[in-house]
Each structure stands twice: as C-alpha cells, then as structure tokens.
Structure 1
Amino acid sequence: MPDELSTDGVRLQKVLAAAGVASRRVAEDMIAAGRVRVNGRVVTEPGSRVDPAADHVAVDGEAVQIDPTRRYVMLNKPTGIVSTLKDEHGRPDLTRWTSQFEERLFNVGRLDADTSGLLLLTNDGDVANVLAHPSFGVTKTYVARVAGKVLPKTLARLTDGLELEDGPIAADRARILPGGSSADATLVEVVLHSGRNRIVRRMFDEVGHPVQELVRRRFGPLALGDLKVGATRDLTSAELGAVLTLARRGPARPAR
C-alpha cells in the first residue's frame, strides 16, 4: 500500500459521517485537529480519500468501522443450542438466529450446548479470527452455579492453577458472588482467557464442585447486560469501537 493518500475511494469526512461518528462538518474539524488516523497515520486533510473495505480508521485512538457491509450482533445463547451453523447430529443450532439477517453471519468462538450467555455473531473474519485466537488472550467472564459450599481455599486453587489432562490452567480471577453461597450450591464468578473446550466445567470438576448452571456474562469488552435469553441486538457504536480497537492491536498498517 503506497504511503501517499489515494486519489480513489471515498472522502474521509463522508465515511466518518456515514459511520455515525459526527456530521460531515464536525468530521472535517476533527480531521483538521489531527484526531483521525488512517492505517495508523494521522491525516489532517479533509479531502483525503479512503477505501472503506480495506482501510482502518480511528478517531481519538478508538477504531471506527467504515465498511457498511460488516455486521456485529450479540446473542444471548440459550442452553440446548450447539454453537455451529450446521450440526451433523441434527441438534438445534445457530441458524435460527443467523437466518434473520441478510448478511451471512458466523459465531466467534463457541459455547457448549449446556452453557448459555454471550456469543458474538459477525461476518468480519479478521475480527473473528483475532478475538477467538488463544494467543490474543481475550478474557471471558462466567457465572457458575456449582454444587456445594465453595471455600476461599478452593478459589485460591482455581487462581493458583490446576493440572488437567490437557495441561495446566489458572483462572485470572475467581470470587463468590454476594449472597451466592449456601450449604447446597454456590454462585462463583470466574474470569479467564482460555478458550479450551468446557474449561470452566472441567476446572470445577477438578476442585470437587460440579457445575450445575453456567452463563458467560462478558467476552472481551462486551457485556451481556440485560439482554434476554434467546434475544439478539447489534453492538452499540461504543462496543464496536472497543471490539475493533482490541482486534486491530499489533503492527500498524502503512498509511495510504
């Protein structure tokens, strides 16, 4: 990609306005003030042109999606649904939700059939690959109802590390939720960045507290909030900016 700005493409202030950042006039002021970067380089000329399908734009350090063909949807996945678009065993899958959108969406990562909660659906392969890649270390927050009364020393085992059949694992954080402890069951919040299969359930099995119910409440910068089970919604502009900023970390792309 050449260093000089392209004479092709769409004017920068126009794509910023279309992305909902600001009106064209305000976007021109933002560009002139040096608040906008294209592929990592500050651009101060409002007449600069960009390719919405290829260029990366950020305002005040926060990534902006300027490609209108990209879609990002949050789903509160119910239990009993497998995280695939076609299950070879005929089990209920994600197509009942993805078929509602014109874009061909796919899921970022997976939740096992017995786990509910936050799942991201998108048609942005670059974002999906980064967020789902284990080496990127995107954290996930789960709330688990587990059998029995969990003691502080058990939480310490979870965070100090356990040895499972596929290698060691440690939670980043683990805490008992206020009012979530009884003689029969305990509500525990666990934060970890591993994406290994059924990892939360296997960790609690290892410490003697089998999971009775499991919900993923957060995925990276995204929070499930009050989204009802089985419901979907598009990401807000703030959520999308946070996701794209996270996904675009790394070597800067050369400026056009």
Structure 2
Amino acid sequence: MEEKAEGIRLQKVLANAGVASRRVSEQLIVEGRVRVNGQTVTELGSRIDPETDLVDVDGVAVQLDADKRYVMLNKPTGVISSMRDDRGRPDLRDYAKDWDERLFNVGRLDYDTSGLLVLTNDGELAQVLAHPSFGVTKVYIAKVDGRVTAQTIARLTRGVELDDGPIQADKARLLDASGDSSLVELTLHSGRNRIVRRMMAEVGHPVVELVRRQFGPLHLGTLPVGQARELTKLERGALLTLSRRGSGPDQADPVGEAPPSGENSENS
C-alpha cells in the first residue's frame, strides 16, 4: 500500500480507537493482521486518514469515527418505528433522548411487534442494512394460535405463496406446542412488509405475539423491553463488518427515516 504523505500513523489510529495499546497495535501491523481499504499493511510508518479510510483487524471492522453512535433498543409493542409520528402515537423519540446525536432507526418493526431495533446516526451503515437487496438476517419468536406440527414447520422452509409472491424461511423451528398455542422461531432475510405475520396466517396459525430476537450479528440478550444501550465494541465491529460487506455502487438509495411501508420497511 502506498503511504500517504499526510494523515495519522496507523498504530496511533488503532490505539485511539481502543483496539489495543500503541505497542500491541504495532505488533498487529507487523504480523499482517491489519488491513486498510482491504489491503494488508505491515509497514509501521503507514499513515491513514481516519475520516475516509476503512480499517479492519483480523477481518473485523474498526470504528474510527467517535461521533458515530450505534444503539440497540428493545422496542415495546404499541410504539411506531419512527422518530416522529404524524398521528401522535408513541414513537422512538423517548428511547433516543439519552444521546445528543440525532439518531434514526434502521428498518422498522411493526406497531404490534417488539424486539431488537438499531438506532444510529451512521447514514451509510443504515443505507446498506436497510437496503432490500442486502437482506440482513433476522430471527423472530412468534407465539401463534393452534398447535404447530412438524409438517407445518417443513412447509415454512419449503415456502408458501403470498399475494406478493413466494417466500420461504431460511430456518424454522418449533420451540413449544402446548395447549391452544405454539412458539415458533423463524429466521428470515426478507424485508417484506409484515412477512412473519402473513406467513404464519397462510399456514393457519395467526400470530398472537411477535418479538425480534436477532438482527444480523446482534442478539437482544437480556435487554429489558423499553430499554436501550450502546453497542459494545465487539458488536459495533461485527455490525460495521457486515455493512461493509454489503456496501457497493448498487447500494445508492438515500436513507433517512425508514419509509412507512414497502420492500425495505422490514416490518414483521
């Protein structure tokens, strides 16, 4: 890689980003574990521009812009996935008020769906993750009416026909079937509107409750409903790595607040 005449030494950038001490960062560079814009850098004198260059260590993206915020919210039901609702319904503003930055949501969750929603001020990341062609994987737990059978689970993975075309779950698993309801885990990469609810209704088991437990590499874990927290360094690295893999010249649609409906609404 051609060294830049101006910029900051790479080991200092890594140390400032919290990757490791400057001495350990130098060792990482010498060992060939650091890449800048996809190219391995082993020269300790290399300088970069943290505002424009992309750095990863052992294949995991490093956040260099300290002004970017990445927040995980466990959205309650009865809340609109928007920073302002024209009809005066509860929205996401209360959950973003602890951050000075103007955050917005990546994709959406339906009004009656709870679970993992990402809030950020990183427009480029949001553009990639919300783009319909990227198809970030999402995992849902659905409580549904009736006793779901193994045959129904197999049908969900084979695919069902909906009004807007066929759809199949990447994975489907029956967690519980007792009494008059069942718990089903569905893994999907589709962002089609209310897709989980429509799939389960199509196989004869309407959704009673729905929660999104996973979004790409992020897991809801024990975060209580209605609570938000910043992503950890490892979570940020995983999310940035995912978004960089999906970025490219064809991912050019502008993204601000999520649209009310449509292919990239990610309603469920």
Same topology, TM > 0.5: yes
Q: 2:51 aligns with which of 29, 50, 53?
A: 53
User: SS of the counterpart of 1:159?
Assistant: helix
Matched, 1:9 2:10: no
Q: How far, CA to CA, are the matches of 1:94 and 1:35 in structure 2?
A: 39
CA contact (8 A) 1:137 1:194 kept: yes
Matched, 1:229 2:225: yes
* Aligned match of 2:114: 116
Deviations 1:61-99 (A, max 9, x none): 111111111111100000001101111111110111122
User: SS of the counterpart of 1:209?
Assistant: coil
Amino acid at match of 1:213: E
* Aligned match of 2:186: 190
Deviation of 1:168 after TM superposition, in Å, equals 0.9
Deviation of 1:7 after TM superposition, in Å, equals 2.2
Q: How far, CA to CA, are the matches of 2:146 and 2:97 in structure 1?
A: 41
Deviation of 1:10 after TM superposition, in Å, equals 2.1
Amino acid at match of 1:72: Y
Deviations 1:213-239 (A, max 9, x none): 000000011000000101111111111
Amino acid at match of 2:231: L
Q: CA RMSD for the aligned pairs?
A: 1.6
* Aligned match of 1:175: 173
CA contact (8 A) 1:40 1:252 kept: no
Equivalent residue runs for 1:48-197 within 5 Å: 48-177=46-175, 180-197=176-193
Structure 1's unaligned 5+ residue stretches are none
CA contact (8 A) 2:144 2:207 kept: yes
Q: 2:195 aligns with which of 193, 199, 206?
A: 199
Question: Relative to 1, partners in 2 of residues 1:250 and 1:156: Cα closer, same or farther, differing over 3 Å?
Answer: closer
CA contact (8 A) 2:172 2:185 kept: yes
Deviations 1:108-145 (A, max 9, x none): 11001100000011111111111112211211000000
The percent of aligned pairs where both chains have the same amino acid is 66
User: SS of the counterpart of 2:153?
Assistant: helix
Structure 2's unaligned 5+ residue stretches are 250-268
* Aligned match of 2:35: 37
Deviating above 3 A after TM superposition, structure 1's stretches of 4 or more consecutive aligned residues are 250-253
User: SS of the counterpart of 1:249?
Assistant: helix
Amino acid at match of 2:154: A
Name which of structure 1's ranges 112-121 and 47-56 shifts more when overlaid on structure 2. 47-56
Name which of structure 1's ranges 90-99 and 45-54 shifts more when overlaid on structure 2. 45-54
User: SS of the counterpart of 1:131?
Assistant: helix
Deviations 1:21-50 (A, max 9, x none): 100111111112221111011112223222
Q: How far, CA to CA, are the matches of 1:251 and 1:135 in structure 2?
A: 11
Amino acid at match of 2:109: L
Amino acid at match of 2:180: D
Name which of structure 1's ranges 11-20 and 136-145 shifts more when overlaid on structure 2. 11-20
Q: How far, CA to CA, are the matches of 1:29 and 1:209 in structure 2?
A: 56
Q: 1:220 aligns with which of 216, 221, 229?
A: 216
TM-score normalised to structure 1 length: 0.93
User: SS of the counterpart of 2:133?
Assistant: helix
CA contact (8 A) 2:159 2:168 kept: yes
TM-score normalised to structure 2 length: 0.89
Amino acid at match of 1:86: R
